[in-house]
Structure 1
Amino acid sequence: QYYGLDKPIIIQYVAWLSRVVRFDFGTSFSSDARPVLEKIWDRSVPVLDRRLMVTFLINVISFVLIMIVAVPVGVLAAYRPHSWIDRITSVVVFVGFAAPKFWIALLLMMLFSVTLGWFPISGIKSLHYASLSETAQYLDRLRHLALPVFVSACGGIAGISRYLRASMLETLSSDFIVTARAKGLPESTVVFRHALRNALLPIITLLGLSVPGFVAGSVIFETIFGIPGMGQLSYQAIMMRDYPVIMGLLCITALLTMIGNLIADVCYAYSDPRIRMR
């Protein structure tokens, strides 16, 4: 009766939906009995320390790193197919595909944190964070996020570079590329202005559909590196069978997926004038 489970399914669904649209996901089953939304977006802590923002920042930085690395690698491999550069990048990419994220995270932690001591082993900031200057605080956060960001991006770099290579190979063999070269346009203009812009169209759609993968991948590296984000909260909720928190996180992930697809559609329309809505 307290949770309304004695009522018909339709009434339960309508009641649940009316709460969800107000971001009222109920109360956690854990000992603190806090509202689910408060656990995800805790207003009592700084914005950068809130779980949703932590996961969001890591994934945004990972996305930027993916594009910075994957686009040049994919273009270079497609421009020189079957060359030694293409073969080396293919081997590295397939290793990145095959290696589990948790294994990569543990190796990086052992090498750069334990052996070399270059990066912190866990958390998002140091114990003396409050006593640092503003610039030092940003640098401290970057040091803590370096390894998690790399682990988050390694799979995306492998995937996007291969997809872009295939798309670039198809685009470079198109008639309009042959025409552009026949007109005497510089090779850099042909590759980067004409070929790359068209080759990126499938990648834009793929990135919009990758939002759930980013959130799911956060569970692994946030748990290993002890990062207080949505991924760690998901793992804790699943282990404790905290169903309100699980449902809240799933709803937030679904909302982020819809936003990601919307942004991808807008970017697709901007990149391809043929499908712009009038």
Structure 2
Amino acid sequence: MLSFLIRRLGWMVMTLWAISLATFFIIQLPPGDYVSTLQANAEERGEVMGPAEAAGLRERYGLDQSFFAQYWKWISNIIFHGDFGQAFAYNMRPVSDLIWDRVALSFTLSVATMLLIWAIAYPIGIYSAVKQYSAGDYVATFFGFVGMAIPEFMLALVLMWVGMRYFGMSPGGLFSPEYQDAAWNLGKMLDLASHIWLPIVIIAVAGTAGGIRIARANLLDELHKPYVVAARAKGLPEWKLLLKYPFRMSMSPFFSTVGWLLPGLISGEVIISIVMNLPTTGPLMLGGVTNQDMYLVGSFILILSTLTVIGTLISDLALAWWDPRIRHSYEGG
């Protein structure tokens, strides 16, 4: 197991390095830079930014340096000082401050969505497998296909329109206008809940659909294995058979999904928060991309990638704890 951990940690470092380099490169692929964006904005206002002023800004922001010089400055400051740089598009505020100011709500939405997915998807998937070809199985299977096929942004737009048209819901944001600057009380808490339940449901739809399909497919696979058929032939009660053997083995993919589910939900939340005008990381990243703010966008992607690789490692360890077969393969390798 120790050798497995060492290999995985080395893999994590190499993966994060490759992601950081690729991200920094892709952000700089489009022509121009942040100063070019400032020049275009000035022209739209009828103003002129001369070449000397533009060159001075590029020197001030370090944009006149080579690609590798800019990359090394950014990544070395992160590694040795924990400094993610300053956001050009947000008045040179520290990137870490901008992200942490909004990450609390993003994390809350993602965790609430993840708990909702687990609470709904796996019980339904298990029921669907046990009651194969029943009406409930057909309904669950249909939802699994449709839920994964509908784009989240389209679902958000449709549900927002239905909510505003028929239920008088607010079009977006966290609070109604009357509660925007009010002190915290029960009314403000209920108003907040009325605004965040919809994005949670929207983000959870695809994850729940996928979870149902995973749970159903894996339990069905276990139920048709020879040891289950033999145990059933010997007269072992069905409920005991399910709980003792197939259920445990079919839950292995549950642990595998833990690693990528939370970062995936945060990515989905980014899109939904832009559509629904929520003060989370979504609008922040949109501003960073449109302004070619390499430090802001690169740092966010690096943080998300770090969460992914750490989550994957944790899920692998949890899977080894749950499934002795996996644990023995780690110890043997």
Same fold flag (TM > 0.5) = yes
- The residue number in structure 1 matching 2:158 is 107
User: Does the alignment pair 1:19 with 2:65?
Assistant: no
- Separation of aligned partners in 2, 1:34 and 1:56: 22
Could you tell me whether the CA contact under 8 Å between 2:172 and 2:195 is conserved in 1? yes
- State yes or no: 1:30 paired with 2:89: yes
Give runs of ≥4 in structure 1 deviating > 6 Å: none
Instruction: Give the TM-score normalised by the residue count of structure 2.
Output: 0.72
Are the aligned partners of 1:25 and 1:247 in contact in 2 as well (CA < 8 Å)? no
Aligned partner letter, 2:116: L
Please tell me whether residue 167 in structure 1 is matched to residue 218 in structure 2: yes
Contact 2:74 2:295 in 1 (8 A): no
Per the alignment, do residues 41 and 167 of structure 1 end up closer, same or farther by CA in structure 2, a change over 3 Å counting? same
> How many residues in Structure 1 have an aligned counterpart in Structure 2?
267
Alpha carbon RMSD of aligned pairs, Å? 2.4
Please give the per-residue CA displacement for 1:95-148, whole angstroms capped at 9, x wherever unaligned. 11111111111111112244213x543222344264342x55543332221010
Identify which of structures 1 and 2 has the higher relative contact order when contacts are C-alpha pairs closer than 8 Å and 6+ apart. 2
Between Structure 1 and Structure 2, whose CA radius of gyration is higher? 2
**Separation in structure 1 between the aligned mates of residue 288 and residue 75 of structure 2, nearest angstrom:** 21
Matched, 1:76 2:127: yes
Q: Normalization by structure 1: what TM-score?
A: 0.85
Once the two structures are TM-superposed, the CA of residue 237 in structure 1 deviates from its matched residue by 1.3
| Aligned-partner Cα distance in 2 for 1:97–1:8 | 39
Q: Give the letter aligned to residue 16 of structure 1.
A: W
Q: Show the counterpart of 1:272.
A: 323
SS in 2 for 1:264: helix
Q: Counterparts in 2 of 1:45-124, with a 5 A limit?
A: 51-117=102-168, 119-124=169-174
**1:13: Cα distance to partner?**
4.6
Contact 2:89/2:287 (8 A) holds in 1:
no
Q: 1:178 to 1:257 in 2, by over 3 A?
A: same
Matching residue's letter, 2:138: R
- Report the counterpart of residue 266 of structure 2 in structure 1: 215
Would you tell me which structure has more helix in proportion to its own residues? 2
Q: 1:259 to 1:185 in 2, by over 3 A?
A: same
Secondary structure, counterpart of 2:251 in structure 1: helix
CA contact (8 A) 1:105 1:148 kept: yes
Structure 2 residue identity aligned to 1:236: G
Aligned counterpart in structure 1 of residue 281 of structure 2, from 206, 230, 242: 230
Letter in 1 for 2:89: S
Distance (whole Å) between structure 2 residues aligned to residue 145 and residue 266 of structure 1: 33
Aligned-pair identity (%):
33
Report deviation, 1:154.
0.4
Which ranges of structure 1 fall in alignment gaps of 5 or more residues? 43-50
Instruction: Give the residue type in structure 2 aligned to 1:131.
Output: A
Q: In 2, Cα distance between the equivalents of 1:249 and 1:60? A: 18
Q: Distance in 2 between matches of 1:31 and 1:205?
A: 38
Distance 2:319 2:194 in 1: 34
1:125 aligns with 2:175: yes
